[in-house]
């Protein structure tokens, strides 16, 4: 690995990582291709993938495909070009252990020191869901789609932009453009904590979120639709959100990052101008597993037929198994895959 020991160089800007990454110096190990699993109607090699976030463009998609991740989510796109928040965008956290609900409201401490153990890596990130112009990302999605192997699917994450008019219509427009470019599956991101507009908190509103999912589903027809949600502390509200969206969706991806205030040792914002940012990595696994279990219970109780994707704090192969043991259908790793790009291969090797 390179000096920063991750496929995304947190010491460099988003643009540098977009243009030059991913930073993988080791050749991908070879595995036997065997599409023996099913995911939203597609025959796939495994139930393991990378969620929206780390896979910035086709180069990143194809690199992780070669590493054995089979469910690949192209980083969130918009109908209008949108820049990233300024560098820095990622910083390590000093927090150890798992965040619990009683920790919500606390400030977390940033550090420049990278943990030596993969299971202890947690970060805060703040990008703001940047996007290239649609013509550019459509061409890049086509490149990604052409390069995928047997038993792999391309999921494109889409978000609407409030200043483009009707937000639901803008989500639907972006989803249609992604389908036209070759997306196998659409994911609508309702849950980013790093934006200043309303597009980041839609998942907490049953009526508004279902208005969006309905509009998108009508626009994309038979193409499978995933909604990406954040953590919902109120179980009644979670049930309302799931119930409202269930008629329009094929899958729920849970969860996105947790939103916290992150500071330096002197109390200043770790990310200048952005006191609050998203928390990823090992510390969020407890909340992620808990919400996955809650969604599973709702699916069983109400006899919903959507697929459940577990995301959050998946750093090791044991964590993959912990999620799958919750009776979910697929698992995705972002931070874990960034600092342990051979995670999918290790999981495959253990299951041979």
Would you name the residues annotated as active-site residues?
192
Residue-by-residue DSSP string for 170-228 = HHHHHHHHHHHHT-SEEEEE---SS-SSGGGSGGG-HHHHHHHHHHHHHHHTTS-EEEE
Taken in order 181, 186, 190, 193, is the CA torsion positive or negative?
negative
Q: How far apart are CA 67 and CA 345, in angstroms?
A: 7
Q: How far apart are CA 140 and CA 59, in angstroms?
A: 9
Please list the residues that pair with 38 across neighbouring strands: 43
Report the phi/psi class of residue 248: left, alpha or beta, with left for phi > 0 and alpha for psi in -120 to 50: alpha
Do residues 130 and 83 touch, judged by C-beta distance below 8 A?
yes
Do residues 270 and 87 touch, judged by C-beta distance below 8 A?
no
For 147, the 3-state DSSP assignment is helix
């Amino acid at each position: 690995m390179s000096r920063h020991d991750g496929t995304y160089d947190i010491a460099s800007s988003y643009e540098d990582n977009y243009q030059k990454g991913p930073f993988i110096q080791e050749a991908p190990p070879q595995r036997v291709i065997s599409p023996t699993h099913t995911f939203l109607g597609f025959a796939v090699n495994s139930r393991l993938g990378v969620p929206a976030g780390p896979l910035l463009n086709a180069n990143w998609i194809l690199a992780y495909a070669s590493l054995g991740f089979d469910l690949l989510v192209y980083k969130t796109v918009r109908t209008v070009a949108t820049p990233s928040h300024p560098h820095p965008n990622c910083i390590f956290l000093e927090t150890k252990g798992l965040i619990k609900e009683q920790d919500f409201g606390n400030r977390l401490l940033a550090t420049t020191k990278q943990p030596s153990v993969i299971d202890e890596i947690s970060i805060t990130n703040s990008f703001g869901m940047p996007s290239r112009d649609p013509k550019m990302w459509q061409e890049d999605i086509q490149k990604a789609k052409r390069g995928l192997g047997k038993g792999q699917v391309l999921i494109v994450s889409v978000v609407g932009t409030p200043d483009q008019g009707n937000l639901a219509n803008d989500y639907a427009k972006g989803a249609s453009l992604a389908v036209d470019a070759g997306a196998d599956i659409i994911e609508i991101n309702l849950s980013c904590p790093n934006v200043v507009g309303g597009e980041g908190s839609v998942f907490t509103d049953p009526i508004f979120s279902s208005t969006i999912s309905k509009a998108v589903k009508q626009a994309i027809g038979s193409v499978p639709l995933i909604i990406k949600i954040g953590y919902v502390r109120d179980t009644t509200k979670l049930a309302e959100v799931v119930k409202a969206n269930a008629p329009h969706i094929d899958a729920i991806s849970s969860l996105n990052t947790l939103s916290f205030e992150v500071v330096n040792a002197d109390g200043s914002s770790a990310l200048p101008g952005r006191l609050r940012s998203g928390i990823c990595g090992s510390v969020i696994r407890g909340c992620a597993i808990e919400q996955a279990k809650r969604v599973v219970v709702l699916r069983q109780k109400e006899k919903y037929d959507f697929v459940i994707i577990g995301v959050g704090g998946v750093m090791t192969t044991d964590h993959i198994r912990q999620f799958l043991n919750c009776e979910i259908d697929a698992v995705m790793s972002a931070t874990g895959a960034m600092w342990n790009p051979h995670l999918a291969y290790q999981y495959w090797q253990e299951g041979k």
